[in-house]
Chains A and B, each alone.
Chain A
Amino acid sequence: MVGPGPGAAPLENANPLIYRRSGERPVTAREEDDELPDAIDDREIFDILIRSINDPEHPLTLEELNVVEQVRVKVNDAESTVSVEFTPTIPHCSMATLIGLSIKVKLIRSLPERFKLDVHITPGTHASEHAVNKQLADKERVAAALENSHLLEVVNQCLSARS
């Protein structure tokens, strides 16, 4: 099992390219109006759901590592679907499943139940893309993974707020 933190095996990608964080989403007058409804949109999912997830290897967020980009987040509020593509930092990243799992768990915890979730790797960016996608799509395997307290611990670490 992989475990982050000092003393672990040397980082696979010790010196990743770091991307600038986008600023806070400005609050519009419309959003402050009590009456008008705001649909759930791509940016919202990107913002509050994914931007805050930490990479298990780096003290950086998935946004800073460009693992998740807003253009790769698709939401359809009316049809209740969310699709997220993520891009591992390197094609052989062994953390890909874990990152995908963290995204998936974060979405399960943060979205209304009506949503159908699809989390997968950006096509062509990882060596074992299909295997990982399959694991992430399998509900029972995801549930089983979360029964594993060690795995849950790592996922929770990724989801904990930045200190």
Chain B
Amino acid sequence: GVKDGRWTVLQLVEALGFSLENTDPRTRGRGIQLLSQVLLQCYSLLQEKEVLHLVLFYESRLQDHHLVVPSVLQGLRALSMCEMLSPGLAVSVLKAIFQEVHVQSLLQLDRHTVYSIITNFMSTREEELKGLGADFTFGFIQVMDGEKDPRNLLVAFQIVRDLIAKDYALGPFVEELFEVTSCYFPVDFTPPPNDPHGIQREDLILSLRAVLASTPQFAEFLLPLLIEKLDSELQSAKLDSLQTLSACCAIYGQKELQEFLPSLWSSLRREVFQTASEKIETECLAALHALSACLSRSVLSSDSEDLLDSFLSSILQDCRHHLCEPDMKLVWPSAKLLQAAAGASLRTYHHITRSILPLLLEQYTKHTQSSQRRTILEMLLGFLELQQKWGHAEEDESTLLLLQAPVCSVVFSALTDPSVQLQLVGIKALTVLGSLQGFLSSSDLELVVDHLIRLALHEEDSQSSEAAMEAAGSLAPTYPKVFSGRMVPRLEEELQSEREESYHNHRSLQQRCLQALAAVSTHTSIVRETVPVLLQHLQKVQKGTEAGNTQDMVSVCQSLHRVALQCQQDAEGCWYFHRTVVPCLLAMAVQAAMQESTHTLPGKALLEEEVLAAMIPVISAATTHLSPELAAQSVSHVVPLFLDGEVSFLPQNSFPGSFQPFGDGECLEAQRRLVALLMAFVCSLPRDVAIPQQEWLLRELLALSCSCNCPFTATTAAKCFAGLVNKHAAGQQLDEILQLAVNKMEPALAEGPRRTQALTLLLWVTKALVLRYHPLSSSLTDKLLGLLGDTELGPAAADGFSLLMAESPDVLHKGCHADVRIMFRQRFFTDNVPKLVQGFHRAGPDVKANYLKGLSHVLNHLPKPVLVTELPTLLSLLLEALSCSDRVVQLSTLSCLHPLLLEAPQIMSLHVDTLVTKFLNLTSSPTMAVRIAALRCAHALTSLPTTVLLPYKGRVIRALAKPLDDKKRLVRKEAVAARGEWFLLGSPGR
């Protein structure tokens, strides 16, 4: 009644009068409880006067019997949320609570109420509370002293944080406030199992850390505590101390740290030198970094000594000599400490490198073994990378610049060392040096390029060669002139040379040249040099008659592809690449195809599936990132080329015949294959680029896909059709063309010589429509499901499910702007898996496997989390699938079961008997991949509850002895891992 205003609170109080004044504390408690409940519901409606009276009433009740107090606090909490509270009342309430209530003897919930009251007042009555001065802080300290419950602690810590952050007067109570919070450090709390409150240890740690690291006033108390905990044995205490120290450094200055620096440093040093834990080491280094940064930040007052200098000097003193010890025992910990300090600021960097860099250079020359040199160079590299962080330093200050010559000579000597490992570090160092603006002189740069060329082309080890190419690629944008002027001509020369070396050497050198040309093409000006070289080489190979030139052409295409990817982001480079490469490739292909149509001449290799397949990604990558205007310009040339034989835009102008890829005639077989290049281009265009004569093109593609005898051409035409249909705007035109496709497919699927082609077309069109959630997709999918029962096409249809679900590399993926809905796989799963299961149960024994195969393809491509939630319902079917003799089904079923074993052990343990038997059987499959997967599953079985597994232990261990002697190493590896884990089951010490 009070809520909707029919009653006033006053009336309620009067009505409750009897119980409020009753002598029995229980009755009184109930009365107050009722009143408090009402207030909690309608505190926002109270008038100022009412609030006043209520507050006075409640305050007086605080002295009441302990049974009554909880309800009184509830009422006060309600009142603390009132906006109508008159000034002064908040203070009076808090005073009353501080005086009358011994908070820590209350229950958890009631203590929480007290904290809520304080929090409420702090957020609304900040000024009034501050008027209390340090008394408020003291009162609160008494309230929270001895708190044990993690829920309350989180609130209490927040209050302390606010006290400090909002600048409440702490007065003489700083140490008390610190004591009352720091007694929880380091937090030792393990949430009870099934804890409904969900408070993690981490929450408390972070919350307490925020308190402790909130004010420099705590420093004199906190730092000794941190040092003490850091010196303890407990790993978690060390970690927490280190992280807290790092947090403190964000607000401390040198005044706070001064006294404790020596002991902090000695603790940190000890930990880094001795610890076996990577985590502690990382945190120590972070803390040292924070300390150094903090000291560098502190503004120096003229009279005090510069703490940073003395701090760094002590670090240097303790670490420096380790770098010189001949046994190099503590070099890494020392180097890491030095680097952590050096990374803190420019000042620390100079201070430390001034002393360390010359030392490292000297050590490098002193040691002669390449493994030791490598260690030293790696440390040097660490310092160089830090320099990168500071960017271009003023010249007179940089130690590095003074040492330019010796650093270069050390790095160059590493590059010529026979040890590959040392070379690799050298190459990395070179990359870093190159990125430091103005560090390398032009003569050094030429030397760098020469080294890179030598390593890239002639170094036997492929790791070094690849690293050199990478380095060239990353340095080229900084020094395009040097690379295009020096490296590209050298590579071109090598590529063209016809040395009479052994055939094999010559080929691998050419391969390296091609890779290097691609790798260095990371700047537009270089691309303009390398692309013509690559194209020229392609033409040369095409004219050659040597065996193996298929492989060479594929290599050129791979290099072109890499270049295309590298210049995609740069509009100018991308357009240059497109207008240079695409017409050239088309012209070469058209030329070759025409020659083939007239008479058999060289050039045939270019038309091999492998080569055409390698050109697809080149054209595709050159097209996807074009701006719509440029793409439209290009499409107006390419489509007429295929539809009308319009060759005029191609760079070559003398063609021996006409180009009619969609024409009839036996002799046009070769020309039809070039639909692959059309597909690469037209399916990669941005979606908003209009394709001229699209409907005509679609009809031609449709006809070709159903009528062509060559599987390559038919499949490509189907893919091209599907790629266009996927992007085609919805509407009547699309419906018509789809109807036409269905009309073509249905009779062809039913019977006749071209059932396979029709199935391929069906698969690709279905995929195109499934991806974009087109309504027709479900009827096409149903058709496909029907075909699973077909004895002839069934297996192919089952494999087709993999095509539907997998990402296809050349068309119908996000990269080529296809319309792909993100959840299409899940949707396909929900729509079709029940049908697959039904079909399986109804199917005859000869085609059952097809359904299983289809199912396993769908499951295999589902995201793992979805799989784990959905699979239990399919489990019995999957267990049946394990007995299927088809290895694709076996393999994918095993890979479905694997995550289930790990993530749903309870469900799986119900079937342990079947699983053990089936897995062990499959470990002797003739297929290596199945054996591996079965062993992995047998390994994963060990995550089921041990009691379930123990009865099988002996049997499994005996059975796994056999794959230990498998002829394949990869199988043995899995067997060893699985058997080792089974041995540990139920044994002590696991």
Binding site for B on A (CB under 8 A): 6-7, 14-15, 17-18, 27, 31-32, 34, 37-38, 40, 44, 47-49, 58-60, 106, 109-114, 149-150, 152-157, 159-161
Contacts and interface: CB of A to CB of B under 8 A. Distances in A.
A159 B984 contact: yes
Interface in B936-990: 961, 964-965, 967-970, 972-973, 976-977, 979-981, 983-984, 987-990
Given A15-B274, A17-B329, A109-B979, A37 B967 contact: yes
A152 B987 contact: yes
B927 interface: yes
6 contacts: A18-B332, A34-B968, A38-B967, A44-B969, A110-B979, A153-B987
B277 interface: yes
Contacts of A58: 276
Contacts of B277: 59
A48 B978 CA distance: 12
Given A6-B233, A15-B274, A38-B969, A156 B964 contact: no
A32 to B, nearest CB: 7
B980 A109 contact: yes
A160 B964 CA distance: 19
Contact of B989 (A37, A60, A157, A161): A157
The residue in B927, B969, B976 that gathers the most chain A C-beta atoms within 10 A of its C-beta is B969
A159 B977 CA distance: 11
B199 interface: no
Given A112-B965, A152-B987, A153-B988, A34 B927 contact: yes
B273 interface: yes
B428 to A, nearest CB: 16
Given A17-B329, A154-B989, A112 B967 contact: no
A113 B979 CA distance: 13
A60 B968 CA distance: 29
B597 to A, nearest CB: 38
A89 B332 CA distance: 19
Given A15-B274, A31-B969, A32-B970, A112 B989 contact: no
A114 B964 CA distance: 11
Given A49-B976, A112-B964, 9 more contacts: A17-B329, A31-B968, A34-B927, A38-B968, A60-B276, A109-B983, A110-B979, A112-B961, A152-B988
B928 interface: yes
A112 B259 CA distance: 64
B969 A156 contact: no
A155 B989 CA distance: 8
A17 B277 CA distance: 14
A137 to B, nearest CB: 22
A161 B803 CA distance: 38
A153 B981 CA distance: 14
Interface string B24-67: 00000000000000000000000000000000000000000000
Secondary structure type dominating chain B contacts: helix
Interface in B244-294: 273-274, 276-277
Contacts of A6: 233
A48 B973 contact: yes
Contact of B968 (A37, A109, A113): A37
A160 B984 contact: yes
Given A34-B928, A110-B979, A156-B984, A59 B276 contact: yes
A159 B980 contact: yes
Interface of B: 233, 273-274, 276-277, 327, 329, 332, 927-929, 961, 964-965, 967-970, 972-973, 976-977, 979-981, 983-984, 987-990
Contacts of A47: 973
A6 B329 CA distance: 25
B274 A14 contact: yes
Contacts of B976: 48-49, 109-110
A11 B265 CA distance: 24
A60 B965 CA distance: 29
A159 B981 CA distance: 9
B280 to A, nearest CB: 11
Contact of B990 (A14, A49, A112, A156): A156
B385 to A, nearest CB: 19
Contact of A40 (B233, B276, B972, B980): B972
- B277, B329, B967 — most chain A CB neighbours (10 Å): B967
B988 A48 contact: no
A53 B476 CA distance: 45
Nearest to B957: A109
B520 to A, nearest CB: 26
Given A31-B970, A32-B970, A40-B972, A110 B233 contact: no
A8 B965 CA distance: 40
Contacts of B274: 14-15
A44 B984 contact: no
A114 B968 contact: no
B982 to A, nearest CB: 9
Contact of A160 (B233, B972, B989): B989
Contacts of A114: 965
Contacts of B984: 156, 159-160
Given A44-B972, A48-B973, A111 B987 contact: no
Nearest to A37: B967
Contacts of A17: 327, 329
B980 A110 contact: yes
Given A112-B964, A154-B989, A157-B989, A106 B980 contact: yes
B990 A160 contact: yes
Residue from A15, A47, A114, A154 whose CB has the most chain B CB atoms within 10 Å? A15
Nearest to A156: B989
Contacts of B989: 152-157, 160
Nearest to B974: A48
Nearest to B970: A31
A40 B976 CA distance: 13
B988 A156 contact: yes
Nearest to B968: A38
Contact of B961 (A7, A40, A113): A113
Nearest to B965: A112
A29 to B, nearest CB: 12
Contacts of A44: 969, 972-973
B983 to A, nearest CB: 5
Task: Identify which of B967, B976, B979, B990 gathers the most chain A CB atoms within 10 Å of its CB.
Answer: B976
A44 B968 CA distance: 11
Across the A-B interface, the 4 shortest Cβ-Cβ residue pairs: A153-B989, A156-B989, A112-B965, A37-B967
Given A34-B927, A37-B968, A15 B973 contact: no
A102 to B, nearest CB: 11
A97 to B, nearest CB: 17
A126 B972 CA distance: 33
Contacts of A152: 987-989
Q: Which of B929, B970, B972 counts the most chain A CB atoms within 10 A?
A: B972
B21 to A, nearest CB: 62
Nearest to B962: A112
A112 B329 CA distance: 39
B738 to A, nearest CB: 42
A59 B278 CA distance: 10
Nearest to B931: A34
Contacts of A15: 273-274, 329
Contacts of B983: 109, 159
A156 B986 CA distance: 11
A6 B232 CA distance: 12
A134 B726 CA distance: 75
B965 A149 contact: no
Contacts of A113: 961
A6 B234 CA distance: 9
